[in-house]
Chain A
Amino acid sequence: MKKNTRKLFRRSLLVALILALMVPMFTACKPADGGQATDPPTGGAQPTKAPTAAPTAAPTDAPPTEPKFGKIVIWSNEGGPWNAPVPSDPEYLERLHDYILENAGVDVEVILPPKDSDAATQRLAILLSGNEQMDAFKGNVNNYYAKGAIQPLDDALAKYGQPCFELWPETYGGGWAGTKGTDGKIYGIPNLPSLAGATIYLNKHMMEKSDLDTTKLPTSMEELYTILKTFQEKDPAGDGQTIPMLLDLYGMNMTMAAGYMDQGLDWNMKGCFDKTDQKYKPYVFADGYKDFITEMAKWYSEGLIYKEAFTINRERQMELIGMNRVAATALWYTTVTTPLRDAWQADDTVDLLVPAELKGPTGYSKSITDTGIEGWMVPKKSKMVDSVVAYIAWLQSDVRNYHTVHQGFEGDYWKLDEELPGGKYAMVNIPPPEGQNKKYYGDFFIGGSFAMTQKIVSRQADGRVMMDLQYIEKHITDTVRTRQPATMGFSFLFDLAKIEESVSRTDMNTKIASELTKFVMGTRPLDEWDAFLEELKEVGLDAWIEAFTEQYNTHKIK
């Protein structure tokens, strides 16, 4: 009897153990509550939780209402949280969430992208192809359309999108045209016009420390070279820590290559038009491009370009800039202004100078991109297209809505000063209290629009203009002192899906990027340039030229 009891006890224990093992396994497999639209996103980058209780101090003091448009989950890649030194304050987020719910009728949840750009790309790809809810993101509309990853917005725009159409004026060129698919439908709400976002910056402090005249900015590559040499010799950062120039492949090409070519560098399509045989080819075939790479290789070999320039990521670039080691940069402008923001606010002599008149042997050295094809999109699997468009329309309908969600409640970090002529507004930035970070970095913000940026004249309390805004105001849309690509005004019409049928753009871009960095770094001798161009045939050069030339001829502006 005793033996049987022990046996029974052992078996019961065993069954309990098996159940204990199996129950968590099955509960882990079970979705939270089945429906995609209401599923809270899980895993990876954590979403900002929607509050369940009444707001602690929402401006309206009203309890959260039922969302008029349902819950949307946004991929918050406008850049605010990405560039923030610390995460936003949860309590502030809760208040703002309730404010949006109350005023826009949308229950917004946020997925914050990882700071590492590769990890962010990977996470976005998983979100687009997986079952997790994600309803809005920003990116290159042409690329995502070609992959079939997004859905048309026409119906939703017809219902709610009037403010978006009113905000984005015709004068920005393409815009809406750039976010259309080959089927004529609108797949994105425009975000940016034609831009020259990559720039050469010279650190004013370092110029002064190096006894360089800050009123005489370089106008030729020779003068720029001399300035970099001076930085190297004078070592303004001290202890041999000065980095004369920090750049990456994109920045190097977009800020200087056009000065050696007969056209702007077309970074969207990574090509150039060869007038001699009327064909559209990869940009490395452009006349003068080899001379440009030869010059860069010389600068690199002389230690003017940071030795690890092509292997570090954006975080490390910003770290080096923030350490005050970098004298000149050829990078995307916010990569430089963001890490210097605090120093700029504390010291009004900190400044960055843009050599806007810089020219190479053939003319201005900076390239401008084609008409904006970047916009706000809704993934193909999302069921919340109306809610997303309604939310963006609400944001874009009023400068206060826009800036509240972008920068926090009015009076905390900004306030509108006065209405200016031409429908513009003067805005004063309010810095956070001394030694404190802001409590909010734009987590809930989507629908960012260059058109809205243009409506605001933003100043610090002391009247100074933030460095990034200075660049936006004076340089970013400068079409006079920049070179335009051969596909200006129509590259967004290229049928990328058709091109991809005959050639892999990524394979070609990868091969070119890899070899260019080797030429500049000197790990491949420049005598092999012709051999390199020949090697591109093995990657599918002929098919590439044929596919792109066909698109060029079909869509070129006659």
Chain B
Amino acid sequence: MAKTSMLLPKKGRRWSAVRRHMPYYLLILPGLVWFIIFKYVPMYGVSIAFKNVTPFETVEDMMRSPFIGFKHFKTFINSYYFEILMRNTLEISLLRLVFGFPMPLIFALLLNEVRNNRYKKIVQTISYLPHFISWVVVSGLVTMIVTTDGGLINNLLVLMGREEIYFLGDPRYFRSVLIISGIWKELGWNTIIYLAAITGIDTQLYEAAVVDGCGRFRRAIHITLPGIANIVTILLIFSIGGLLDAGFEQIMLLYSEPVYDVADIIDTYVYRKGMIEMNYSFSTAVGLFKSVIAMALIIIANVTAKLFGREGLW
């Protein structure tokens, strides 16, 4: 059979392979159709970034609207908010990356060392739970904890003889609330991939290390970490790609006018322009600008990873 297919022309061989695996291709089909309908077809809407379309027009009106080139992009780049939004978005994302990215890794390494399986499972379950709580609820909890009106943290501060801190209204503290609550919510969930990768490491390596007299810390550093380095790299590339996603939902629910200076990000600006001002063309242009930068960041991170001999995304 293999010999026959070798004799077929290349095109015929490919088609024959497709027919042989037809059930699997059919299985892919619903997902593919879903992607085309819900992800690629709406991309036509991106064209309004280059037009002056009001959202109250029909699709035909949108198609007929003349192109105005990069006007909206230029307006955004020259606007007062451009610098503030870029700075806030990047700073908040970098803070999340610096403090948020290593946390699940460290937590996974620590969990891996727990020998009592029952205890390990309980800790894992408790740490996953916040992931399933919506940001609406989490922001309510955060507000209750940090409020100056009887909040837990401020009560403790007062008990210690310190002054109350208005965490959600003071630009000096607002970002700390964002980063810490973000880490708390996603810490457990983000360890899943690391824990899965750790289980794939050959146990003989650990046994050999024990024979050689390695302690737990050195095994974690010299066996576990290198064993999951590729996964860490891939997740880091993803994180860098999402650098401009600074956490719209969380910020939207927690921020207010006094902290706009340190919390207003590209996504909240797009929301204001699109939903409040109903300036859809302009907000689409800003959103597209963000996507292009994100794409560039992914490519740069991928190339850099490969330069350092790590596995990239492609």
Q: List chain A positions with a Cβ less than 8 A from chain B.
A: 10-11, 14-15, 17-18, 21-22, 25, 29, 118, 121-122, 125-126, 128-129, 147-149, 249, 307-308, 310-311, 379-381, 504, 506-507, 510-511, 513-514, 517-518, 521, 523, 538-540
Contact = CB atoms under 8 A, between A and B. Distances in A.
Given A308-B148, A308-B149, A125 B257 contact: no
- Chief secondary structure at chain B's binding surface: helix
Nearest to B172: A523
A126 B276 CA distance: 10
Interface string B32-44: 0110010000000
B60 to A, nearest CB: 13
A540 B170 contact: no
Contacts of B56: 128-129, 147-149, 379-381
Nearest to A118: B252
Contacts of A523: 169-172, 258
Contact of B256 (A128, A311, A504, A539): A311
A18 B55 CA distance: 37
Interface of B: 23, 26-27, 29-30, 33-34, 37, 54-56, 58, 79-81, 147-149, 164, 166, 168-172, 252, 256-258, 260-261, 271-278, 280
Contacts of A121: 275-276
A541 to B, nearest CB: 10
A14 B276 CA distance: 48
A149 B278 contact: yes
A34 to B, nearest CB: 15
Contact of B257 (A29, A379, A380, A513): A513
Contacts of A118: 252
Contacts of B164: 307
Contacts of B147: 308
A121 B280 CA distance: 15
Contacts of A538: 80
B277 A506 contact: yes
A129 B256 contact: no
A380 B56 CA distance: 7
A129 B280 contact: yes
A147 B257 contact: no
Contacts of B256: 310-311, 517
Contacts of B23: 10-11, 14
A534 to B, nearest CB: 12
Nearest to B148: A307
Contact of A510 (B58, B258, B272, B275): B272
B258 A521 contact: yes
Given A14-B26, A147-B54, A517 B33 contact: no
A380 to B, nearest CB: 4
Given A510-B257, A523-B172, 14 more contacts: A14-B26, A14-B27, A18-B27, A29-B37, A147-B54, A307-B148, A308-B166, A308-B168, A311-B258, A381-B56, A517-B258, A521-B258, A523-B170, A523-B258
Nearest to A313: B256
Contacts of B29: 18, 22
A517 B168 CA distance: 13
A21 B31 CA distance: 9
A504 B75 CA distance: 11
Nearest to B75: A504
B133 to A, nearest CB: 18
B261 A514 contact: yes
Contacts of A148: 54, 56
Given A25-B30, A514-B258, A517-B258, A507 B278 contact: no
Nearest to B55: A129
A518 B37 contact: no
A504 B34 CA distance: 38
